[in-house]
Structure 1
Amino acid sequence: MPGFLRAFSIILIALSIVPASAAEKLRVGKAVAFAWTFTPLDVGIQTGIFAKHGLEIEASAFNGDAKMQQGLTSDSIDVGIGGGPGMAFMVKGAPAKAVGAMAGIPRNMAVMVGYDSPIKTVDDLKGKKLGVTTAGSLTEWIGRRIGTQKGWGPAGITTVPIGGMPPARAAIKTNQIDGYITSQEIGISLEEAREWRVITSAAPFVDHFITHVF
């Protein structure tokens, strides 16, 4: 973690070199508020690392990569931290570029279902609806990847763009979706609370991949 935080901080600082006597505001948006891999931003703010280098960080969070790309396009943020699949928006013309890779295989991402769900294994996910943050997001890519790797075809798993945690929790409770793809630490926490269960990590279905970029 210390090395990760240091590298993350160096890149953000390099994006805005300012005189030591002046604090420059840098607006940084996270694709989602709750991913552990994005916490270096919060740690850097709370420990004063950015302030020490003349940066005033204005942090914000979105409900997925697509929303964050809209923030970059509308000039609402200067830097975005999101999923690797979000780089596809740049190919489609989004006025942004990736400057750093933060993580490889998505070991911290997982599929989870309601605690009392009849879904017990990965095979039980065939034909089911999994909630994701937005279209074109890391979570949507993972859902499609699992279906492809299992040989179920493009319709093997239906991904439903639903946003962040509050709507996802409500949708699972009301059976609008069968499961949700998000960070594994969230799933473990809700499993301990007997609300959700983790079915699988995304790692077994992905080999070479860039999970997070900014």
Structure 2
Amino acid sequence: MSLSRRDMLKLAGVAGAAAVAPRFAGAQALEKKDVVIAVGGQALIYYLPLSIAHVNGYFKDEGLDAKIVDFAGGSKALQAVVGGSADVVSGAFEHTINLQSKGQAYRAFAQQGHAPMIVLAVSKKTMAGYKSPADLKGKKVGVTAPGSSTNMMVSFYLAQHGLKPTDVSIVGVGAGAGAITAMRTGQIDAIANLDPVISTLVKEDAVQIVADTRTIKDTIQIFGGNMPSGCLYTSQEFIDKHPNTVQALANAIVRADKWIRASTPDQIAKVVPESYLLGDVELYKLALQGNKEALSPDGRVPDDGPQTALNALAAFVPNFPKDKIDVSKIWTNDFVNKANQKYPNA
């Protein structure tokens, strides 16, 4: 791709402690073109901006060769970046808070969702008489992976209703066909998952929804404020060393966010991999419509979002050091602000 000097300058971005030497053309080049992005359940609508940035060629347009590695859940993707096998995570915003509590500096720099999109539902087969959250005690609850954002949502919901995380058995079931099979066959009594998994089970009349964070209204009701969800995050060290690469990633995600907002479910369903549709394109389109409000329109983190995420995490993690967390260090809108200048009407 041939870039003019003006285009090269637009790629430049600095956030947090990042600093770029005052050179010109050389300083604007990507420090790292080959980037590995870890994700936990890429087919989920939760991660749709990542997929759109990839299939629509937005990463390539920014000069990146992005390799996406898919894991069973967000906690596994986090382990990949901490372990050094991935550079960036497409995952849940609150993971950056959890990492800081363990002395590790990670920062979210491009938002894909501004509501969690997680739904908690109970089986109509094994929990046909469900009346209240108390009925979950002693039951097996399927999540994408233990320690993931779906696990957090379950624990937070239980805490709100006077139950402890240990009152249920958490079972990792993934984020695709395996999760659906686990519910169909009675391996689990309840499930916290996302679309298209949830919409598939609802269509089959297999589950009863008891908590839903696919809308801003319900998210605020459950969490007490705006709750940022899917995002790109990486270590502060990576941002410091590769600010132009991080800017390029943010550019691609913001462009994808805006493309999704401007597109119909028909248009989106035509470009995603066929495997995402789980054999039912009409159902997938319905799920897209149901989650569209929860997808970020511009990549920005809402001002109250980081504190809401901290409150949620502290509510269910035993002895969480809430007072020692500096939320200003776990996110930045600097890169997405520049991306919105580059792509104001993408």
Query: Which range, TM-score by smaller chain?
Result: 0.7 to 0.9
Are 2:221 and 1:212 aligned? no
**Alignment partner, residue 74 of structure 1:** 83
C-alpha distance in structure 2 between counterparts of 1:74 and 1:155, whole Å: 28
C-alpha distance in structure 2 between counterparts of 1:13 and 1:196, whole Å: 48
Partner SS, residue 97 of structure 1: strand
Cα deviation, 1:109-159, whole Å, max 9, x if unaligned, reads 101234534154553643122111223211111101111111234444443
Spell out the pairing of 1:21-170 with structure 2 (5 A cutoff).
Answer: 24-87=33-96, 88-94=98-104, 96-106=106-116, 108-117=117-126, 118=128, 120-123=130-133, 125-127=135-137, 128-170=139-181
Q: Shift of the alpha carbon at 1:28?
A: 1.4
Q: Shift of the alpha carbon at 1:82?
A: 0.8
**Alignment partner, residue 3 of structure 2:** none
RMSD: 3.1
TM-score w.r.t. structure 1 length? 0.75
Partner SS, residue 163 of structure 1: coil
Structure 2 unmatched runs, 5+: 1-10, 15-27, 214-218, 233-346
Partner SS, residue 198 of structure 1: strand
Cα deviation, 1:72-105, whole Å, max 9, x if unaligned, reads 1232221101113322134324574333444344
C-alpha distance in structure 1 between counterparts of 2:141 and 2:12, whole Å: 38
Moved more, 74-83 or 23-32: 23-32
Partner SS, residue 107 of structure 2: coil
Higher strand share: 1
Q: Structure 1 26/14 Cα, relative in aligned 2: closer, same or farther at 3 Å? A: farther
Structure 1 unmatched runs, 5+: 1-11
C-alpha distance in structure 2 between counterparts of 1:84 and 1:136, whole Å: 13
Q: Shift of the alpha carbon at 1:36?
A: 1.1
Partner SS, residue 44 of structure 1: helix
Higher helix share: 2
C-alpha distance in structure 2 between counterparts of 1:160 and 1:85, whole Å: 21
Are 2:194 and 1:201 aligned? no
Cα deviation, 1:164-203, whole Å, max 9, x if unaligned, reads 3344333323433211111144311332244444333143
TM-score w.r.t. structure 2 length? 0.50
Q: How many residues align?
A: 199
**Alignment partner, residue 9 of structure 1:** none
Give aligned-pair identity as a percent.
20
Q: Structure 1 98/116 Cα, relative in aligned 2: closer, same or farther at 3 Å? A: same
Larger Rg belongs to: 2
| 2:80 partner amino acid | G
C-alpha distance in structure 2 between counterparts of 1:187 and 1:164, whole Å: 10
Asked whether the equivalents of residues 85 and 137 of structure 1 are also in contact (C-alpha less than 8 Å), the reply is no
Q: Structure 1 174/100 Cα, relative in aligned 2: closer, same or farther at 3 Å? A: same
C-alpha distance in structure 1 between counterparts of 2:103 and 2:172, whole Å: 22
C-alpha distance in structure 2 between counterparts of 1:160 and 1:197, whole Å: 19
Moved more, 200-209 or 80-89: 200-209
| 1:210 partner amino acid | P
Asked whether the equivalents of residues 177 and 197 of structure 2 are also in contact (C-alpha less than 8 Å), the reply is no
Q: Residue 187 of structure 1 is aligned with which of 186, 190, 198?
A: 198
